[in-house]
Chains A and B, each alone.
Chain A
Amino acid sequence: MPTPPDLTRRALCAALALLGPVAVAEPARPCVAQFAPAIVALEGVEELLRSDLDRSALSRALSALGEAALPELFRAFSERAPDLTAGDRGALAGALRSHSRERVLALLADQVEASPQRRSSALELLTEWSTPSEVELLFDLAGTAERPDARVLEHFERAVAGLHAERSEAWLALSRATLRAPLLVQDRALRAVRPTRAPHTAKFLDALLNGPDLLAQGALRAIGDLWASDPHLIQDDHLARVAERLERPSVPQCGAALVALGQAQDTTAAARMIELLESDTPSLTRDALWALRASTQMQIDATPALWRHWHKSSLAWWEQRSKTALEDLESGEPARIEPALREIAAQRLQRRELALRVSRVLEQAPVRVAVLCCATLSQLRCSIAIPSLLMSIEDPVSQVRAAACATLQSLTGLDLGPDAPARDWRDALSAADLH
C-alpha cells in the first residue's frame, strides 16, 4: 500500500509528467523549482526516470528542478548508469549541463576525491572545456594513481578529445598537466590530442619532448605522424628540437626521432643520420638508413661513404649555387627560370624548402614554366607541394592541368584519372590521410 510520501512523490511527478513540456516551460520553471527540494527529497528524480516521458520531456522536467537537484541528478547519472537507458542518461546529462557552467564545474570539482565511478561520470560530463582551470580539473579527475581505473581513463581520453580551446593558455595548461600526470594518463592525453591537426597540436607535442623518456618517445611518434599527414605543420624550430633527440643516449627516443624526421622528409640532420649509419646498435642503423632514404628519396645502400659523398656535394651546391639558382627561379623570366628548375630538380638536400619555393613559382607561372615546375616537383617528391598542385588542377590551360595531375599521382600514389576535379582530389587525399 503506498505510503503518504509515495503518494506525494507520485503526484508531483505525475503532474510534471502529465504537463510535460508545458510544466517546464519558462513561466512555470520558478514554480517547479520551488517544489524541487521536495521532489528530490521524495526521490522524485527516480520517479521521473521511471516515468514514460520521452527524452526531451524528461530532460526538461529534470532541468526544471533547478540547481537544488544537481547533486541528486549527478548521483543518478553516476550510480544508476548500468540501469538507465542511453536516452535517460542523455536526459540526465542534458539536465545537468543546462545549468550554469560554474555551478556544474563546482559540482564536478567536488568529485575529485570521489570513487572512480563518480570521477568517470564527472569526466563524461566535462565536455567542450576550454580554460586552463578546466584542464586542471580534467587531470584532477583522472587522478594521480599509477594505474587509474579503466573507465576513468576512457572518459578522460574522450574529454581531452573534446577540446574546444583555441586559446594557447589552455594548450599550455594541457602540456603542463600532461607532463605532471601519471604515465597512463599521459598516454591517454597524447592519444586524444594526436588525431587533431592544428598548430596548437604541434606545440603541445613539442612541449612533451621535455618529459621523461617514454613520454618523449610517444610525442616523437605523434609528431612524425602529424608531419606525415600535414607537412605544413612542420616548423623549423620543432624540427631542430626533434633533431636534438638524435644525440640522446636513449635508443628508442633516437629511433623515434629518426622516423619522425624521415616522415617530415627533412634533411637538416642528414650529417648526424649518416653518423648513425655506423652506430653499434643495429636498430639505429636501420632507422637511420630509412630516415635518409625517406628524406632524400634516394635508394642508396647503407654505405656511409656513399651518403657522405652525396652530402658533401649537396652542401657544396647549397653553398655555391643555390643563391643564384633560387634568384633565377624567382626572377619571373622564363629564360632564367627553366635552367634553374632543371638544376633544382636534381637536388635532394632540403627538398622541402626547394619544393616550397617551386610551388610558389608554379602558382603564377606562364604555361611552359608551370609545366616545368610540375615536372620539378615530381622529381623533388615532396608532399608539401600538394596544395599548389591542387590549385593547378583547376588551371584553365589543359597542359598545366595534365602536368599537375601527373605530379599529384606520382606524389600520392593515387590515380583519379586525368580529368578528376580538385574537389575529388581533396576528398581522396583526405581519405588517404594526406592533407
Chain B
Amino acid sequence: MKTKNTSRQDTEGSALLAALLVVMTVGALSATAIQMQVSSLRQQETANDRKRAFYLAEAGLSEALLSLRDGGLGQVGTKAMPAGFGEGYVFTSAVEDAYGNFIVHSTGIAPRARHRLGLSIERQVLSPGSLGFFGDEALTVGGGTQLSYVDSVRADEKLDRESLAGAVVGLVIPGATPTEEYNGTVYPENVGPRFGGNGTIDVENVGSGAYTNLQADVVRGPAAVLDIQLGATVSGATAAQAEAVVMPKLNWPAFALLGSVNLTTGISEALTTTENHYPNVTVSGGAVLRIVGPFRASMDTLTIATGATLEIDSSAGPVELHVSDSVNFAGGSSVTNVTLDAGGLHLLVHGDDSVAPAVQLRMTGTFHGVLYAPLAAVALPRGLAWTGSAVARTLDIPRDSTLIFDSAVISEVAAQIFYIPISWNLLAAPKDIANPMAYNPEATYAGLGITAATPAIAWQPVEQVIKYEGHDEKEYVYRGVTGGIDVDLVATTLETINAIDPRFIDEAEPDGVFVQR
C-alpha cells in the first residue's frame, strides 16, 4: 500500500505539468500563428499599398497629361504639398527636352509604399500654314503653275526677302530639304513644301507659257484622287497617307467689342490696339489701313475696296486676323506686307459659303501670308504671286500662278497642339521619398491642419524656369514652382529664371501672370 501511495505521490503534479506544457505549446503556436497572421496582414496591406501607389502614380500621369492638354505645365502638386487622391497622395513633375517633348514623372504615395512612373509625351503642333496649298474637298492647280520653296526660318538659308517681291519664277533653293524641327518644335509631319487635299487633286499640265512645275510633296488622305496631267512635274512624294489629313480646328477668340472701322478715300489709319473685335472693317478706294503687329483681332467682315490697301507691318510681331463672315479683297485692291514675311500675316476665315462666298480674292500684286479658310471655297486671284500658304475647303489655283511655300508660315499662331503619349516606364522612387518614415505627407498636412488639394486644383503655376543638363547630357527645361524641380535629374544647371527676373517680367501678362507657352 505504501508503495502504492509512494507511487501516487511520485506522479502527483505530472498531469499539471503536462497540461502546462500543452497550454504553453498551444500558446506558443497561437502566438506564432497570430504573428504570422499579423505579418501576413501587413504584407497584404503593403502589397495593397504598393498597388495603390502604382495606381496613384498612373492617375498622376493622366492628370499631368490633362494639364498639358489644357494649357498647363504637367505639374500636379509638389513633393512638399502633393495632391490628395483616394487614400493617398500624388505629385508630378514635368520637364521639356530640346525637341519640345515632355517627360513627366509621377509619384504615387500610399501609407506604406511609393511608386514612381515616367511618361514621355510628344508635343505635336498642327499649324494651319503647314498644309501648304491645300483644298480639303478639292484642289485644282491650273496649268503652268510654279510652286517653289523657301525656308526663310533656317539661318543658313536666310534669303533677302526683297528678292521674293513680285513674280519670282523658279525660285528653288538648291538642296533645300524639308526639316523636321523649327524653333525647337517638332511638327507632326516633315514640314516642307506641299500641296494636296482629301478629295480630288487635279494638276493641269500647261498654262499660257510654261508647264506646271510643283517642287513639293503631295499630302493627301487615303481617299484622295490624284490626277497629274502629263507634262506637269511634281518633284516630291505622292503616296497617300494612311489617315485623312487633319485640318487644325479654329477657335474663335473672345475679344472686347470695339466699333467698326470704315476708312474712306484718302485716309490712312493704323490699328495697333490688339485683341479687339471690330464688327466690320471696310477700306474704301484710295485709303490705306495699316495694321502693326503684334496684333490679334476678330471681325465679322473685312472688305478692301478697289484702289484700297491693307498694309501689314509684322516687323515687331505677327498679325492674326480672325474673320467670321466674309473677306472681300476687290479687284485692284492690294494687301502688302512690309516685311515680306509670310509668317507675319495669318488671315483666318471661320465662315462658310452658306449665305455668301466667305472669301473673295481679286487683289493684285503680291501676297505674303497664310490664308486659312477651312469651310470656304477659295479661288486665288489670277496673276498674283503668293508666298506662304493657302488652305481652304476647296482651293482653285488659276493658270500660270506663282506660288512659294515659305517655312516661315509654320508657327504656333492659331495652331492646334496635340500631346501624344509615346511611352511610359517604371522608375525607382528616390530614397528620401521611398522611406515612409522620412517622407510622410499625411503627417505634414496633419501638422499644418489642412487637407491636401485634389489633383484637379493642384496644377502648379510657373514661378521658375530652369534650363539644365541631365545625366544623359541632354538639355531640358523645367517650368514650375520654385524648388519644385527634382534635383536628382539635374547634372548641371545651365540657367535659372525666377519670377522676379526682368526677363521673366518681359514675358508676363499685364496682370503679372506668366504666359505659358
Contacts and interface: CB of A to CB of B under 8 A. Distances in A.
A221 interface: yes
A286 B217 contact: yes
A142 to B, nearest CB: 14
Given A218-B228, A221-B228, A282-B190, A251 B242 contact: no
A183 B239 contact: no
A214 B239 contact: no
Interface string A183-197: 110110011000000
B235 A283 contact: yes
B238 A218 contact: no
B178 interface: yes
A252 interface: yes
B257 interface: no
Nearest to A289: B239
A282 B192 contact: yes
Interface string B68-95: 0000000000000000000000000000
A187 B229 CA distance: 6
A158 B238 CA distance: 28
Contacts of A287: 237-239
B230 interface: yes
A293 B243 CA distance: 13
Contact of B239 (A186, A259, A282): A259
A341 interface: no
Interface residues of B, number: 21
A64 B206 CA distance: 45
B230 A283 contact: no
B240 A290 contact: yes
Nearest to A147: B206
B230 A282 contact: no
B345 to A, nearest CB: 28
A262 B242 CA distance: 12
Contacts of B192: 282
Contacts of B233: 214, 252
A215 interface: yes
Contact of B238 (A256, A282, A294): A256
B137 to A, nearest CB: 18
B236 interface: yes
Contacts of B235: 251-252, 283
B231 interface: yes
B206 A184 contact: yes
Contact of A284 (B205, B237, B242): B237
A314 B230 CA distance: 38
B177 interface: yes
B236 A184 contact: no
Nearest to A146: B206
A403 interface: no
Contact of A190 (B217, B230, B234, B236): B230
Given A187-B205, A255-B237, A283 B231 contact: no
A291 interface: yes
A184 B239 contact: no
A252 to B, nearest CB: 6
Interface residues of A, number: 29
A259 B230 contact: no
A258 B239 contact: yes
A256 B218 CA distance: 12
Given A147-B206, A283-B217, A286-B217, A262 B230 contact: no
B228 A293 contact: no
Interface in B210-242: 217, 226, 228-231, 233-240, 242
Given A282-B178, A282-B192, A286-B217, A187 B231 contact: yes
B272 to A, nearest CB: 41
A183 B230 contact: yes
Contacts of A256: 238
B176 to A, nearest CB: 11
Among B228, B236, B238, chain A packs the most CB atoms within 10 A around the CB of: B238
A184 B235 CA distance: 19
Interface in A275-292: 282-284, 286-287, 290-291
A188 B458 CA distance: 67
A264 B233 CA distance: 23
Contacts of A147: 206
Interface string B312-343: 00000000000000000000000000000000
B217 to A, nearest CB: 6
A266 to B, nearest CB: 15
Interface string A220-251: 01000000000000000000000000000001
A214 B234 CA distance: 10
Contacts of B238: 221, 255-256, 259, 287
Given A282-B192, A286-B237, A293-B242, A184 B228 contact: no
Contact of A184 (B178, B205, B237, B240): B205
A227 B235 CA distance: 23
Interface in B230-265: 230-231, 233-240, 242
A341 to B, nearest CB: 28
A283 B228 contact: no
B449 to A, nearest CB: 54
B217 A184 contact: no
A184 B242 contact: no
Contacts of A283: 217, 235-237
A132 B192 CA distance: 47
Interface string B259-277: 0000000000000000000
A19 B178 CA distance: 76
A218 to B, nearest CB: 4
A146 to B, nearest CB: 9
Contacts of B226: 221
A170 B228 CA distance: 26
A284 B237 CA distance: 6
A219 to B, nearest CB: 9
Interface string A291-313: 10110000100000000000000
B112 to A, nearest CB: 42
Q: Closest 10 interchain pairs by CB?
A: A187-B230, A290-B239, A283-B237, A286-B237, A283-B236, A218-B230, A287-B237, A287-B239, A183-B231, A259-B239
Interface of A: 147, 183-184, 186-187, 190-191, 214-215, 217-218, 221, 251-252, 255-256, 258-259, 262, 282-284, 286-287, 290-291, 293-294, 299
Given A214-B230, A252-B233, A282-B177, 13 more contacts: A190-B230, A191-B229, A214-B231, A252-B234, A255-B236, A255-B237, A255-B238, A259-B239, A262-B239, A283-B235, A283-B237, A284-B237, A294-B239
17 contacts: A183-B230, A184-B206, A186-B230, A187-B205, A190-B230, A218-B230, A221-B228, A221-B238, A251-B235, A252-B233, A258-B239, A282-B177, A282-B192, A282-B237, A283-B235, A290-B239, A293-B242
